[in-house]
């Protein structure tokens, strides 16, 4: 398609063919009704009151997710944490929070050498292998380093012991009062994981694609050779790993709490990463959204704003692309400017309006230093109230035109 006009027309048609959110989504997630907010940032945590003051009614809480990174604290400390989280969430809901979504990391093991030091005997008995064997592996079966560096180690989402550990954390979050779970970092190493569990699932994937006819179990080295022989198929396989993990976690969560909601960090750290992030860390929003109740993206650069040099940044086209690939699930975005988590209040209001105009919801980060909480909340709250008052006008909308064509070049008279 060499003609630039045809390229533009095709792009505009893609923008026009996006799906609307399902009418069956919980009312709490409807545009205008939903006010999403992280209640923690760095050392600032448990900011339900600030979130409420700014108009939010859905919070993303650390809850029991903090100790999970380090493999759990002592039995006594865990009991205290459970009680504190239960009390915090009970108070938050009494004050007006409608939904609390608990944080769980999908892959991170921190400080591997001490990760299991506090496990009671009965908890340790749940697992077949030590945590060191839960990590993603390279072509030769060696542990892969984390792309975060430091004390991080990447666990494999296909490892049954890691899944058992994650189910335990899901239960912890739901039992203290969370209404669902937000999974951060559902990633696969850029090289791909060649552990035996991934290779077994890759063999199943190859059979479904008609690329492997040999029956029965295959030696792991044979399957690793096949991964190298079929790199495109291996990349597609990597991109469904997180989807399968989330589907498993969702089924488990709903066995505990039937209405439990599951979502994840779908990444998209910049709008231009949409077509590449599945090739790096296997973020595939099309696949992830099949197993999610709603889709969250975290963009670190596309906060809508006008720059001093005259450029205008907007997120509207990205919202349309997200709707097109998210299977009708509600879309939520947190957009910030140049990695600055403390977005000015007026820009938060602009981002909330832009999201609502595109059948989406905005996720704010109201974990401000104490002296900034009241003035920030006072500026943001009227926008939240306005959207909530007009929610019936914001849902089930349709574009005024299905396709818009732009003529390139000067018209001839």
Q: What is the pLDDT of residue 312?
A: 93
Q: Any idea which of 131-135, 214-218, 244-248, 274-278 has the lowest mean pLDDT? A: 214-218
Residue 91 has pLDDT above 50, yes or no: yes
Q: What does the alpha-carbon distance between residue 87 and residue 305 come to, in Å, rounded to a whole number? A: 39
Half-sphere exposure of 66 (CA within 13 A, CB side): 17
Q: What is the pLDDT of residue 42?
A: 86
Q: What is the pLDDT of residue 125?
A: 96
Q: What is the pLDDT of residue 398?
A: 74
Half-sphere exposure of 167 (CA within 13 A, CB side): 20
Q: What does the alpha-carbon distance between residue 5 and residue 411 come to, in Å, rounded to a whole number? A: 13
Length of the chain: 413
Residue 108 has pLDDT above 70, yes or no: yes
Q: Any idea which of 14-18, 97-101, 145-149, 310-314 has the lowest mean pLDDT? A: 14-18
Q: Which long-range contacts does 312-317 make (Cβ < 8 Å, 24+ apart)?
A: 314/354, 315/271, 315/351, 315/354, 315/355, 315/358, 316/354, 316/357, 316/358, 317/15, 317/271
In the numeric block, the tokens 């989330």 are attached to 246
Q: What is the pLDDT of residue 50?
A: 96
pLDDT band of 214, cuts 50, 70, 90: confident
Q: What is the pLDDT of residue 180?
A: 98
pLDDT band of 407, cuts 50, 70, 90: low
Residue 14 or residue 265, greater confidence: 265
Residue 21 has pLDDT above 80, yes or no: no
pLDDT average, residue stretch 168-194: 97
In the numeric block, the tokens 């959207």 are attached to 387
* Closest residue by Cα to residue 37 from 382, 280, 339, 380: 380
Residue 18 has pLDDT above 80, yes or no: no
Alpha helices in 275-399 (DSSP H): 277-280, 285-288, 316-325, 345-357, 370-389, 391-394
Number of neighbouring beta carbons within 10 Å of residue 167: 17
Q: What does the alpha-carbon distance between residue 254 and residue 244 come to, in Å, rounded to a whole number? A: 16
Q: Any idea which of 119-123, 149-153, 362-366 has the lowest mean pLDDT? A: 149-153
Residue 8 has pLDDT above 50, yes or no: no
- pTM of the predicted model as reported, rounded to 2 decimal places: 0.90
pLDDT average, residue stretch 362-366: 95
The percentage of the chain sitting over the pLDDT mark of 90, rounded to a whole number, equals 81
β-strand pairing of 58-61 with 36-38: parallel
pLDDT band of 226, cuts 50, 70, 90: very high
Q: What does the alpha-carbon distance between residue 58 and residue 167 come to, in Å, rounded to a whole number? A: 23
Q: What is the pLDDT of residue 396?
A: 79
* Three-state DSSP state, 232: helix
The percentage of the chain sitting over the pLDDT mark of 70, rounded to a whole number, equals 91
Residue 409 has pLDDT above 80, yes or no: no
**Count of H-run helices and E-run strands, the chain:** 15, 12
Residue 86 has pLDDT above 90, yes or no: yes
* Three-state DSSP state, 394: helix
Number of neighbouring beta carbons within 10 Å of residue 352: 22
Mean pLDDT, all residues of the chain: 91
Tens digits of residue pLDDT in 324-354: 999 999 999 999 998 888 899 999 999 999 9
Residue 53 has pLDDT above 50, yes or no: yes
Q: What does the alpha-carbon distance between residue 385 and residue 401 come to, in Å, rounded to a whole number? A: 29
Q: What is the pLDDT of residue 253?
A: 98
Q: Any idea which of 21-30, 254-263, 381-390 has the lowest mean pLDDT? A: 21-30
Q: What is the pLDDT of residue 323?
A: 96
Q: What is the pLDDT of residue 228?
A: 96
pLDDT average, residue stretch 43-71: 94
Q: Which residues contact 319 (CB under 8 A, 6 or more apart)?
A: 331, 333, 354, 355, 358, 359, 360
* Closest residue by Cα to residue 195 from 124, 269, 141: 141
Q: Any idea which of 114-123, 334-343, 352-361 has the lowest mean pLDDT? A: 334-343
């Amino acid at each position: 398609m060499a003609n630039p006009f045809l390229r533009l027309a095709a792009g505009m048609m893609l923008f026009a063919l996006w799906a609307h959110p399902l009418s069956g989504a919980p009312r709490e997630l409807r545009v205008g009704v939903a006010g999403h907010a992280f209640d923690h940032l760095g050392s600032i945590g448990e900011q339900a009151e600030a979130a409420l003051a700014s108009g939010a009614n859905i919070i993303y809480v650390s809850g029991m997710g903090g100790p999970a990174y380090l493999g759990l604290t002592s039995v006594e400390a865990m009991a205290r944490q459970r009680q504190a989280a239960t009390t915090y969430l009970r108070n938050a809901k009494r004050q007006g929070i409608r939904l609390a979504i608990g944080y769980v990391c999908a892959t991170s093991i921190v400080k591997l050498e001490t990760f299991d030091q506090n496990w009671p005997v009965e908890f340790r008995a749940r697992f077949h292998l030590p945590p060191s064997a839960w990590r993603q592996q390279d072509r030769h079966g060696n542990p892969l380093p984390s792309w975060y560096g430091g004390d991080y180690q990447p666990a494999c989402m296909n490892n049954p012991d890691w899944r058992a550990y994650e189910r335990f954390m899901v239960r912890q979050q739901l039992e203290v009062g969370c209404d669902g779970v937000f999974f951060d970092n559902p990633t696969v190493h850029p090289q791909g994981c060649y552990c035996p569990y991934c290779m077994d699932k890759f063999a199943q994937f190859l059979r479904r694609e008609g690329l492997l006819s040999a029956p029965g179990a295959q030696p792991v080295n044979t399957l690793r050779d096949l991964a190298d022989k079929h790199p495109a198929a291996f990349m597609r396989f990597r991109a469904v790993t997180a989807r399968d993990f989330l589907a498993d976690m969702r089924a488990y969560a709903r066995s505990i709490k039937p209405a439990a909601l599951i979502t994840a960090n779908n990444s998209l750290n910049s709008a231009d990463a949409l077509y590449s992030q599945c090739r790096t860390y296997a973020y595939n929003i099309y696949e992830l959204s099949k197993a999610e109740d709603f889709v969250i993206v975290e963009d670190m650069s596309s906060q809508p704003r006008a720059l001093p040099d005259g450029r205008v940044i907007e997120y509207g086209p990205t919202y349309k692309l997200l709707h097109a690939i998210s299977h009708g699930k509600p879309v939520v975005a947190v957009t910030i400017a140049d990695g600055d988590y403390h977005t000015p209040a007026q820009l938060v209001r602009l981002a909330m309006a832009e999201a609502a105009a595109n059948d989406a919801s905005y996720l704010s980060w109201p974990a401000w230093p104490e002296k900034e909480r009241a003035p920030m909340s006072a500026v943001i709250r009227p926008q939240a109230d306005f959207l909530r008052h007009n929610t019936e006008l914001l849902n089930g909308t349709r574009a005024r035109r299905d396709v818009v064509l732009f003529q390139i070049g000067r018209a001839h008279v």
